[in-house]
Amino acid sequence: MTDTLSPQSSVLSPDLDRLLRPHFRAVAPYTPIEPVEVLSRRLGIPDDAVIKLDGNENLYGPSPRALEALARCARYHIYPDPLQRDLRQALTAYTGLGVEHIVVGNGSDELIDLLMRLTLEPGDRVLTCSPTFGMYSFNAGVCAATAVDIPRDAAFAVDAEAVAAAVDERTKLILLPSPNNPSANLLLRADLLRLLETGVLVVVDEAYAEFAGETAADLVPHYENLVVLRTFSKWAGLAGLRVGYGLMAPRLAQLLDHIKPPYNVNVAGLVAALASLEDLALLQERVQAIAAERERLYTLLQTVPYLRPYPSRANFILCAVMERDARGLKDALAGVGIFIRFFDTPRLRGSVRISVGLPEHTDRLLAELRRM
């Protein structure tokens, strides 16, 4: 198996080509991270020798209760509940919001896609603040919309006035993660309130909120133009099962529910997410352990002469790489089985992003960074 689809597959006959929507020819593909089995095969090492610090995954894995529930479930041959009633009900206690505010998706990625398909006409605009999560501009491109970037400042803070000033009659959405990926800082509440005043939909993507202990969910009942996105991928260790959810005004939730594929979240995802909410104490202990490990990793990274880590409220740390090539550093670590993230964009070309793993991963990483 090659790593990409074969080049011939991108050539269509003129007859078929004319059926395509023209804007798709210009959509740049999203660059995803590679799965463990591909990395281990490439290096010729066993899967469990791979230290995967490139995907902001939770290396503690799913909760034991989730694993037991998955093993016990006898309903894999039956379609899942299209309304995800049990999970949405369980989420009311976790989020403090009623079921009418909650939409469940195949990862929060699906909710980003659905929100754009609900709102964007070709030529519409979404506002993003780079450096940030790449799916926003990717999904906008799929909808033939334009992602307009209002770059963050040197400390990665959002320039809320500049974002508000960029809103025009074609602007439908503002998308801001809190904590931001990859800079790991929070969106300030004052900035969020300023942006809500613009009247366009403000999507606060809280994929990493559990590691920061801060949320905008309490504002959802007060602002019909606020959407808060969450996921089980990070704090609950279910990235591979793809369960996310959105918190929003009931009418918006209803509309997203109408346009989503009915069986968008599978039985395994629902079973594991429900069991995770029943194993909160243990999962929250792990979140605390990851936050503590983040602080240890940050302190240790500060001792590496060629790295300048930025403070983090998430489960990853962005580092500026000084006087050496960031991509070269990423490749050198990959050569010894440690995978970190490098982004080939002008602002981030001199940086790497390192996910917080288990204590033994920090120790191995630091030993290699000191040796290199």
Among residues 120, 196, 207, 226, the one that binds ligand PLP under rule CB under 6 A: 207
Stretch that binds ligand PLP, among 87-95, 105-113, 122-130, 360-368 (CB under 6 A): 105-113
| Radius of gyration in angstroms for the set of CA atoms belonging to the chain, rounded to a whole number | 21
CB of 205 to ligand PLP, least distance (A): 4
Contacts of 11 (CB under 8 A, 6+ apart): none
If one asks whether residue 107 binds ligand PLP (CB under 6 A), the answer comes out as: yes
If one asks whether residue 205 binds ligand PLP (CB under 6 A), the answer comes out as: yes
Stretch that binds ligand PLP, among 62-70, 80-88, 102-110, 219-227 (CB under 6 A): 102-110
Name the amino acid, one letter, at 219.
Answer: L
C-alpha–C-alpha distance, residues 309 and 182, integer Å: 12
CB of 56 to ligand PLP, least distance (A): 5
Q: What's the token pair of residue 51?
A: 């230290």
If one asks whether residue 137 binds ligand PLP (CB under 6 A), the answer comes out as: no
C-alpha–C-alpha distance, residues 106 and 241, integer Å: 8
Scan residues 231-290 and list those touching ligand PLP (CB under 6 A): 231, 233, 239, 244
If one asks whether residue 156 binds ligand PLP (CB under 6 A), the answer comes out as: no
If one asks whether residue 355 binds ligand PLP (CB under 6 A), the answer comes out as: no
Q: What's the token pair of residue 42?
A: 């490439």
If one asks whether residue 131 binds ligand PLP (CB under 6 A), the answer comes out as: no
If one asks whether residue 108 binds ligand PLP (CB under 6 A), the answer comes out as: yes
Q: 226-229 contacts: CB < 8 A, separation 24 or more?
A: 226/196, 226/201, 226/202, 227/115, 227/201, 227/202, 227/203, 227/252, 228/203, 228/204, 229/108, 229/111, 229/112, 229/203, 229/204, 229/205
If one asks whether residue 178 binds ligand PLP (CB under 6 A), the answer comes out as: no
Q: List interacting residues with ligand PLP (CB under 6 A).
A: 56, 107-109, 133, 177, 181, 205, 207, 231, 233, 239, 244
